[in-house]
Structure 1
Amino acid sequence: MITLTPPPASPPSASRSTTDESITAWALAARGGDPEAVERFVGALHRDVRRFVAHLCADPQAVDDLAQDTFLRALGSLHRFEGRCSARTWLLSIARRAVTDSFRYAAARPRLSDVPDWRLAVEHAQPRGLPGFDDGIALADLLGALPEERREAFVLTQMLGLSYEDAAELTGCPVGTVRSRVSRARSTLVRLLVAAEGCREEGREGERVLVAA
């Protein structure tokens, strides 16, 4: 039985390329029927898959099911994985399709109620801030202001650590387009961060005035 548990944090000295090479090697070994390699492959990428799905999925309660579905699809398709791209990129492309399929299924059935905001999933799956961001400013609120394409490009490259080339392959667009989307996303996030900080400073100033009075 496969246990989908997050892996321990990698040491700071471990490079992304080395990690990806190891994960790809585990995927290839898992394809050959090595049960330990299957566990390593799943454990190494479970966190990334869940985080990515949380950013794309509209239903926070469906995140775990979609992550599970992603790995079931991947394990069922391992015999076709040949290592031409990294196993991380390959798996995230499967996660993307799983989310897309869930959207199609949801659109085909009657809606009984509004779907909870996707940002709730992000709040549970991500830290409240990126490096340099104040913890009091919710990351989900900032990302939620981005167009979907820019948000996806930013999450893939800046939060999950994919190269621009891998992100381009996953999303099916040119590398230059990914770079442009990330650049625009970063500019928007910085602008929103500055605005949010300004609002908070005004709030603090108002509190100081009330206290002084």
Structure 2
Amino acid sequence: MITPALPVPHERRELPASADESVTAWALAARGGDSVAVDHFVRALHRDVIRYVAHLCADPQAVDDLAQDTFLRALGSLHRFEGRSSARTWLLAIARRAVADSLRHTAVRPRPADLPDWEPAAELAQPRGLPGFEDGVALLELLASLPDERREAFVLTQMLGLPYAEAAELSHCPVGTVRSRVARARATLMTLLTEADHPAPAASPPSLAAA
């Protein structure tokens, strides 16, 4: 049975502060029309955007389009970015709005039939450091069972490595609320992992004598 390991609970797993500072510097340079800085900015944050929208979006087929929409919105708004927050937090806030707009648009039109091509989106959203694709899909399935707010808090802090303060800013809630959501999400995931490792024994069939 495949049992994915949970990410180690650090406030910053993926990008050290210096890397966030570099991304923010690239965004500020890109604002001035530096095409090389634009390329660095997009490449540095593309995977984080993909993973974030994949966990927010109910339609895996829309992940790439939502990521593209996020960057188009961001590049069109760079002239308003002043570096008051990290460029990554600023960009993920744009991604959140892009997903919300997409969900509102989808709600007013018929939903197309599901197609069996969810694997690429699941693979793109797979957390780094897991043994393989199957483990990533298994963790995605576990995450899908969490309430939306807890899943978002877990993805932002434990998988994308955002500080709790920045995750709180994105989620429009106090830092303590984010910490509580992450703690509850981890507890639920650990329970599900334990249950996956130790499934309940199947009930014994009734004996013929009792029939």
Relative distance call for 1:52 and 1:100 in structure 2 (3 A) is same
Alpha-carbon contact 2:54-2:122 (below 8 Å) kept: no
Other-structure match for 1:24: 24
Alpha-carbon contact 1:54-1:60 (below 8 Å) kept: yes
Cα distance per residue 1:147-186 (max 9 Å; x no partner):
0000000000000000000000111111000000000000
Relative distance call for 1:128 and 1:34 in structure 2 (3 A) is closer
Other-structure match for 1:61: 61
Amino acid at match of 2:100: T
Deviation, structure 1 residue 140:
1.3
* Structure (1 or 2) with the greater helix fraction: 1
Distance between the aligned counterparts of 1:125 and 1:202, measured in 2? Answer: 35
Other-structure match for 1:127: 126
Query: Is 1:171 the equivalent of 2:165?
Result: no
Alignment of 1:52-131 (within 5 A): 52-113=52-113, 115=114, 123-127=122-126
Q: With the length of structure 2 as denominator, give the TM-score of the two structures.
A: 0.80
Alpha-carbon contact 1:50-1:67 (below 8 Å) kept: yes
Secondary structure of the 1:138 match is: helix
Unaligned runs of 5+ in 2: 1-13, 203-211
Distance between the aligned counterparts of 1:147 and 1:32, measured in 2? Answer: 41
Secondary structure of the 1:82 match is: coil
- Give the CA RMSD over aligned residues: 2.8
Alpha-carbon contact 1:119-1:140 (below 8 Å) kept: no
Relative distance call for 1:43 and 1:129 in structure 2 (3 A) is closer
Deviation, structure 1 residue 124:
2.1
Deviation, structure 1 residue 141:
1.6
Amino acid at match of 1:64: D
The total of aligned residue pairs comes to 188
Alpha-carbon contact 1:54-1:121 (below 8 Å) kept: no
Q: With the length of structure 1 as denominator, give the TM-score of the two structures.
A: 0.80
Deviation, structure 1 residue 16:
1.6
Q: How much identity, in percent, do the aligned residues show? A: 65
Relative distance call for 1:122 and 1:156 in structure 2 (3 A) is farther
Deviation, structure 1 residue 123:
2.6
Unaligned runs of 5+ in 1: 1-13, 204-213
Other-structure match for 1:141: 141
The structure showing larger relative contact order (alpha-carbon pairs under 8 Å, at least 6 residues apart) is 2
